[in-house]
Amino acid sequence: MTRVSGKVVWITGASSGIGKALADAFAEEGADVILSGRRVEALNEVADGIAGDTLVLPFEATDYTALPKATETAWGWKGRVDILVNNAGVSQRSLAVDTAPEVYRDLIDVDLIAPIWLTQLQLPRMVDAGGAHIVAISSVAGRIGAPLRTAYCAAKHGLIGYMDALRAEADKPHNIKVTNVLPGSVATNVARNAMTGDGSARGRSDEAIDSGDDPADCAAAILDAVANNVPEIIFAKGMELEATKMRHANPDAFFEVIAGMGAQIVERQREEAEG
């Protein structure tokens, strides 16, 4: 079991939702927390609510020229980064046929390339430090192809693949642990901030998201997974959990179920578009 107390934890997307809940949870266990994201005021509010040491380190996840400097600052704060949590991201709510190609580029840039880039900058330092722990917040959409989320699924599937391969290379040789997290519906602004077919923010939430799990419960599950070096956790319930399991246990049945679900969603989207 890995002790979290006294560790330096760097969390991206820390201003709200799961990221904020993780900052609270790690701080409560005695960790020093680096808070990153775009919204400085929101990050400062999170920092003000944490009893332990915090460093507010704002940056845009896809500003790749800024990431080396951010890495220098993060490692210079306490001399190490023990746990990196790649949490920053954006979701999607649009049918593929209605989605501009640029949306795929932009979403995959945020949800896949950015966390890979930031992780790659940490690896040599983590190797030299004798080990670390990397957490990637993926999604159940990283395991199943969910309607209205073709770009999001592509990014989250890719993130799991990268992290699985990284674990295979870095776990035993370098003591770098990797935990993939696959949340289902968690009550955050993920649907409200989701990209639509033209790249604009959706501006409204989903009933499934609004009635989803408490971010604090998700954070507690992630904290437990990190403490116990668990390679992957699925934090979901109901149909989301069953579909995620069915994808591998009974793929033929899964594809039939998801096709029916997709057809219903397409019909509903068309009805809404026609007013």
Average pLDDT for residues 128-142, to the nearest whole number? 98
Instruction: Look at residue 275 and tell me if it is in a domain.
Output: no
CATH classification at residue 76: 3.40.50.720
Report which residue type is found at 243. A
Chain segment 6-25, per-residue pLDDT in tens: 999 999 999 999 999 999 99
How many domains in the chain?
Answer: 1
Query: Active-site residue 152, yes or no?
Result: yes
Backbone Cα Rg of the chain: 18
Identify whether 13 is part of a domain: yes
Short-list 39, 14, 239, CA closest to 147? 239
**Angle at 126 (CA atoms; ends 109, 105), nearest 5 degrees:** 5
pLDDT more than 70, % of the chain = 99
223: in domain? yes
pLDDT band of 51, cuts 50, 70, 90: confident
Residue 269 lies in a domain: no
pLDDT score recorded for residue 152 = 98
Per-residue pLDDT, 9: 98
- 173/60 Cα distance (integer angstroms): 32
Judge whether residue 269 has pLDDT over 90. no
Catalytic-labelled residue, pool 64, 104, 152, 162: 152
pLDDT above 90 coverage of the chain, percent? 95
**Is the pLDDT reported for residue 144 higher than 70?**
yes
Give a yes or no: residue 257 inside a domain: no
**Interval 127-155 mean pLDDT:** 97
Is the predicted pLDDT of residue 211 greater than 60, yes or no?
A: yes
194: which residues sit within 8 A by CB, 6+ positions away?
90, 91, 92, 93, 152, 201, 202
The answer to whether residue 252 is domain-embedded is no
Query: For residue 270, what pLDDT is reported?
Result: 82
Q: Give this prediction's pTM.
A: 0.95
Closest Cα partner for 92 from 107, 77, 81, 105? 107
Structural domain includes residue 177: yes
Domain of 141, in residue numbers: 8-237
User: How many whole angstroms separate alpha carbon 61 and alpha carbon 239?
Assistant: 32
What's the pLDDT band for 271 if we cut at 50, 70, 90?
Answer: confident
Assess if residue 228 is contained within a domain: yes
